[in-house]
Chain A
Amino acid sequence: MRNNKFGFTIHSDNQINLDERDFNLYHKIISGEAGFMSCISCGSCTASCTAAAYTDFNYRQLCHNIRRGQNDAVAKELSKCMFCGKCSLICPRGINTRKIINLLHKELSKTGQYAY
C-alpha cells in the first residue's frame, strides 16, 4: 500500500462538515462578550482596521471563522492586531471588538497557543 502507488494522490475533501467543527472557543467568547453574537458581517471593522491596511489581517473574517469553528489561524492572526480601537469605534452593532481581542488573547494563552 503506497499513497502514490498509481502516480497520483487522492484529493482531500474541501467540503466542511460543520458537525465536526470545534465551537468551544466560540462559546467561551460569547460568555465573555455577548456582543459577539450580534455581528452581521457588515465588514466595517475590517474596512477601518489599521492592521488590515498593511497586512492580511481581517477582523471580520477572524470572528466569522471562530463562529464556524475554524480556530487554526486565530493565534497567528491575533498578533497583528494593534489594539488601536478603530473597529470598536465604527461597529454599527455596538460590539466591543477590543474586548473580544482581549478574550481571545486570554483563551489562547491558556492553551499555550499564544504567548501574551
Chain B
Amino acid sequence: MPQRKTILVIGGGVTGMEASARLAEMGYRVTLVERQGRLGGHVDNWDFLFPDRKPAANILNPLKDAINYKVDVKLSTEITTIKKLNGQFISSLSTGDFVKTDVILLATGFDLFDARKKEEYGYGIYDKVITAAELEEYFSGKNGYKLLNKDGRGKIGILHCVGSRDEKVGNEYCSKVCCVTGVKQSMKLREYYPGYEVFCFYMDLRMFGRYFEDLYREAQEKWGVQFIRGRVSEASETHDNKISVRFEDTLSGKPMKISLDLVILLTGFVPASGSTYLKEMLSLDIGKDRFFKPVDEHLKRNHSSREGIFLAGACTGPKSIAESITEARAVSLEISSFLNKSE
C-alpha cells in the first residue's frame, strides 16, 4: 500500500480548519499548525456574521468537529524554518519538532490594521474611539465593559475605510468586507441603544454580496441608520467628553461637524505578520498590496509562486468567511490534483 501523502497546513482559522478537514477526508495525513492557543482565528472574536446574522460559533463548532481526531493539530506552535529536500518540505517548529510533508498550504489569513496609525482619529488617545473588532467583543460579552448607557440618548458614528483606500498609510486597496460589517453593526447598535442615532460615514458603500443590499435597506428603513457620504477628517474630544468629528456632506457640498458619544472605526485588513515572515523565508511572490500573489487570478488562484506551496483564504487578500471556506475547499481539490499527478 503506497504511503499516505502528507500536508502541512499553516494557520488554524476557518480556512485552515476547513481545508484540513477536507484533505483529511480525502485520505491525506494532515498536520495543522496554529500560533495561538486556540483554533478559529479572527472568526472566534466575532459575535454574529453577515448576511444572516448567525452566531460565529455556528461555523466554528462544525469545523472543529470535522477535524477532531482526523487532523494532527499543533496549537501554540510557530514555524521556525522550512527547507526543501528530495521533493519534500521539512518544517521545523517552535516546539522543537520536525514535520516532513509533500505539500504546504498557507492559510495564514490577515491582521487588522492598527488604528493608532490614523493619528487624526485619536484611537488609543480618546476613550470613546474604538474599533469594529472591539465592538464585536462588546456584543459577545467578552470584555464586559459598559460602552454607553442603555437608556441614554445621543449619537454614534461608524467610520468606513480606516486604513484602507488610503495612500497615507500605504494601503491603497479596498478591504472589501468592512462596509457590510459597518451596516451589520449599525443595526445591532440601534437595537442595543435605541435612544442613540447611528451615522455611517462612507466614501462608497461596497455591498458586494448576496443579501447585502437587503441589509443596507433594513438598516435604513427598519432601524433609521443615517448614511452620510463623506470621509471623516479628524476627531477631537470636546469639553463634555464627546468626540467631535469633521466631515464634508459631499451630497450637499458643505463642511460639517457633529459630536458623537461613541466612534467606531472600521479597520481594514493587512497581511498577517505570519504571512510576511513566511514570504521572506520561502521567497514567495506578493502583490502590490503585499498579500500573497497566486500564479493566476482565474485558473490558479490557489497556487503560490513555488511548486508544492498552496495558498487559500485571506492571505491572498481581503475576503469574507463564506469565500474563505469556498477557497479552502477549492485548494483541497488543487492539492489533491497536484499530488495525484506527482505519483
Binding site for B on A (CB under 8 A): 14-19, 30, 34-35, 37-41, 61, 64-65, 67-68, 70, 93
Query: Which one of A15, A40, A70 lies within 8 Å of B252 (CB-CB)?
Result: A70
Question: How far in angstroms is the closest Cβ of chain B from A107?
Answer: 19
Across the interface, name the chain B residue whose C-beta is closest to A43. Answer: B251
Binding site for A on B (CB under 8 A): 217, 220-221, 224, 226-227, 229, 246, 249, 251-252, 254-259
Residues on the B chain within 8 Å of A70, using CB: 252
Residues on the B chain within 8 Å of A14, using CB: 254-255
| Given contacts A37-B224, A38-B221, A41-B229, A17 and B252 within 8 Å (CB-CB) | no
| Given contacts A41-B251, A67-B226, A17 and B256 within 8 Å (CB-CB) | yes
Q: Are A37 and B256 in contact (CB under 8 A)?
A: no
Q: Are B255 and A16 in contact (CB under 8 A)?
A: yes
Q: Is the interface of B mostly helix, strand, loop or mixed?
A: strand
Residues on the A chain within 8 Å of B254, using CB: 14-16
Question: How far in angstroms is the closest Cβ of chain B from A46?
Answer: 12
The 9 closest A-B pairs by CB, nearest first: A18-B258, A16-B256, A15-B255, A37-B220, A38-B221, A41-B251, A38-B220, A18-B256, A64-B251
Across the interface, name the chain A residue whose C-beta is closest to B216. Answer: A40
Across the interface, name the chain B residue whose C-beta is closest to A70. Answer: B252
Q: Are B256 and A15 in contact (CB under 8 A)?
A: yes
Across the interface, name the chain B residue whose C-beta is closest to A93. Answer: B217
Across the interface, name the chain B residue whose C-beta is closest to A60. Answer: B251
Residues on the B chain within 8 Å of A68, using CB: 249, 252, 256
Q: Are B229 and A37 in contact (CB under 8 A)?
A: no
Query: Complex Cα distance A80/B259, Å?
Result: 35
Which of A17, A30, A37 is most buried by chain B, counting CB atoms within 10 A of its CB?
A37
Question: How far in angstroms is the closest Cβ of chain A from B27?
Answer: 51
What are 10 inter-chain pairs, A to B, with CB distance below 8 A?
A: A14-B254, A17-B258, A18-B256, A18-B257, A34-B221, A37-B221, A38-B221, A39-B220, A41-B251, A64-B252
